């Protein structure tokens, strides 16, 4: 098998780089915390009281969902548990994991293992990875289990083993992952491979351009985004990557291609390259010019554009973009299915907050709650409640007390009909 063929299997790329390119991936460094791994337990980081209250409110809303909606309930619970991890509420997330009864519990277990690795608690990480591996194996043996569910857990395990320096275990976990679930693993690899494999990694993207497989193109785009970030300071490499990403993005669904450009704009902004960020905004707007999409999806993209403008030091333009999006919502409100209005409004409210337009953020979250409350059935109300609460948590928005009380009442009213 030649080098290009070998590269088409991302786990093999990592194997080649690890064994022949002489990049040694060390185990997580010992820390004061890891010296006491036998006693290690998760603790919750100090966060704002209202943020913690929102997490608890969101999870309690999921508990009320009855058995006929167990899949929705499990997905929502996973989202809340992962949000808790992101907020450093690891003990809280652990308590949520214990109350889950779906394969998604394995995803939370693997993410808790990754959190333990980051903290230097290697024994604690091993404990959680073992639990996640058992869940993945259980899914594989379950007659109702699906391969992609197992592989979503395995991909996280591969990342965790790699970060622990257990390369053989990482490669084994990543072996034969379904293409869609391999994406995170491939991006992890692209972020850490020896620089001498740069041209080899570009060949993976070139192969994706030449194929007609949509998932291959999307995975290659993810690899490209990681390389674009990693080598941003090298103008020549950055341009080579950007040209390939542009080519591969045309093989992707149009909305996914736009979301990729949003990501690239965010990377440019993170590197304080305001002109490049504005360039990507212009590219996004050009692609959107003749692109019909659901109203709530367009609102989400507009919120992303506004945040790019804000990060590119064009905050007033960003706020104007968001007010225009609210005008769009009011004009097209009846065309947006009631179940999905909060999907469009919450990202706009979040963007208002991050742009410093606090009164507009409050008004837009109020609008999202108002539209969520219109649903006659409890299931969509519960889903919107979790969506809105996690949006607030994610951006650090502190809702007024009367808004928190409104959300509490919304949760209390959950019940038949679902």
CA separation for the pair 248, 205 (Å, rounded): 7
Phi-psi label, residue 48: left if phi above 0, alpha if psi -120 to 50, beta otherwise: beta
Cα separations (Å) of 102 from 132, 135, 215?
Answer: 12, 9, 26
Q: Give the least confident one: 108-112, 291-295, 318-322.
A: 291-295
Residue 352 lies in a domain: yes
In a domain, 374, yes or no: yes
As to burial, measured by CB atoms within 10 angstroms (0-12 exposed, 13-18 middle, 19+ buried), residue 395 is middle
Summarised one tens digit per residue, pLDDT across range 381-393 is 999 999 999 999 9
Q: Is the pLDDT of residue 4 over 50?
A: no
Domain assignment of residue 183, yes or no: no
* Res. 254: pLDDT tops 80: yes
The residues pairing with 233 across neighbouring beta strands, listed in sequence order, are: none
Residue 131 has pLDDT above 70, yes or no: yes
Longest dimension (CA), the chain: 65
In angstroms, what is the C-alpha Rg of the chain?
A: 22
Range of lowest pLDDT (77-86, 211-220, 313-322):
211-220
Tokens representing residue 253 in the block: 């669904």
Tell me the pLDDT of the chain averaged across its residues.
90
- 340 within 8 A of 332, measured Cβ to Cβ: no
Q: In the predicted model, is pLDDT for residue 107 greater than 70?
A: yes
Backbone phi, psi, residue 64, to 5°: -75, -15
- HSE on the CB side for 368, CA within 13 Å? 31
pLDDT digits (tens, 9 = 90+) for 153-209: 999 999 999 999 999 999 999 999 999 999 999 999 999 888 889 999 999 899 988
Residue range 369-377: mean pLDDT, rounded:
94
Overall domain count for the chain: 1
Instruction: Answer whether residue 23 is part of any domain.
Output: no
Answer yes or no: is pLDDT of 43 > 90: yes
Query: Could you tell me how far CA 369 lies from the centroid of its own chain?
Result: 23
Model confidence at 93, pLDDT cuts 50, 70, 90, reads very high
Residue 228, number of CB atoms within 10 A of its CB: 23
Q: How far is CA 407 from the centre of its chain?
A: 25
3-state secondary structure (DSSP) of residue 117:
helix
Q: What's residue 176's pLDDT? A: 94
Residue 372 — pLDDT band, cuts 50, 70, 90? Answer: very high
Q: 3-state class of 89 per DSSP?
A: strand
Residue 394 falls within a domain, yes or no? Answer: yes
In a domain, 165, yes or no: no
Q: Average pLDDT of 228-255?
A: 93
Inside any domain, residue 357: yes
Q: How confident is the model at residue 37 (pLDDT cuts 50, 70, 90)?
A: very low
First-to-last CA distance in the chain? 56
Residue reference for tokens 């993209």: 301
| Position with higher pLDDT, 13 vs 300 | 300
Q: Does 338 fall in a domain?
A: yes
- Residue-range definition of the domain harbouring residue 302: 276-418
């Amino acid at each position: 098998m030649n080098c290009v063929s070998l590269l088409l299997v991302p786990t093999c790329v990592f194997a080649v780089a690890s064994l022949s390119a002489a990049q040694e991936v060390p185990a997580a460094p010992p820390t004061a915390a890891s010296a006491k791994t036998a006693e290690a337990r998760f603790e919750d980081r100090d966060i704002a009281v209202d943020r913690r209250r929102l997490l608890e409110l969101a999870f309690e809303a999921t508990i009320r969902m009855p058995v006929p909606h167990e899949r929705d309930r499990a997905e929502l619970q996973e989202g809340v548990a992962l949000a808790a991890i992101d907020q450093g509420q690891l003990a809280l997330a652990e308590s949520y994991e214990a109350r889950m009864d779906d394969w998604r519990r394995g995803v939370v277990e693997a993410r808790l293992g990754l959190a333990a690795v980051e903290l230097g608690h290697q024994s604690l990480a091993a404990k959680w990875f073992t639990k996640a591996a058992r869940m993945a194996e259980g899914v594989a043996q379950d007659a109702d289990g699906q391969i992609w569910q197992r592989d979503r857990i395995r991909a996280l395990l591969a990342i965790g083993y790699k970060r622990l320096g257990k390369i053989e275990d990482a490669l084994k976990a990543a072996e034969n992952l379904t293409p869609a679930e391999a994406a995170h693993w491939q991006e992890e690899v692209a972020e850490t491979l020896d620089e001498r494999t740069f041209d080899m990694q570009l060949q993976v993207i070139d192969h994706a351009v030449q194929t007609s497989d949509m998932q291959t193109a999307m995975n290659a785009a993810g690899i490209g985004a990681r390389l674009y970030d990693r080598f941003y300071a090298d103008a020549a490499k950055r341009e080579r990557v950007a040209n390939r990403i542009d080519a591969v993005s045309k093989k992707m669904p149009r909305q996914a291609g736009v979301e990729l450009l949003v990501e690239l704009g965010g990377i440019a902004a993170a590197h304080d390259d305001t002109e490049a960020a504005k360039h990507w905004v212009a590219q996004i707007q050009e692609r959107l010019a003749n692109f019909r999409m659901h109203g709530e999806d367009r609102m989400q993209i507009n919120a992303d554009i506004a945040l790019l403008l804000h990060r590119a030091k064009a905050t007033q333009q960003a706020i104007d973009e968001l007010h225009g999006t609210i005008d769009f919502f009011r004009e097209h409100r009846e065309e947006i299915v009631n179940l999905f209005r909060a999907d469009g409004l919450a990202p706009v409210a979040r963007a208002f907050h991050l742009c410093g337009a606090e009164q507009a953020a409050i008004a837009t979250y109020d609008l999202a709650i108002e539209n969520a409350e219109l649903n006659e059935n409890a299931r969509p109300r519960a889903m919107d409640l979790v969506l809105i609460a996690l949006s607030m948590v994610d951006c650090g928005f502190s809702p007024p007390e009367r808004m928190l009380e409104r959300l509490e009442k919304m949760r209390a009213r959950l019940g038949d009909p679902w």
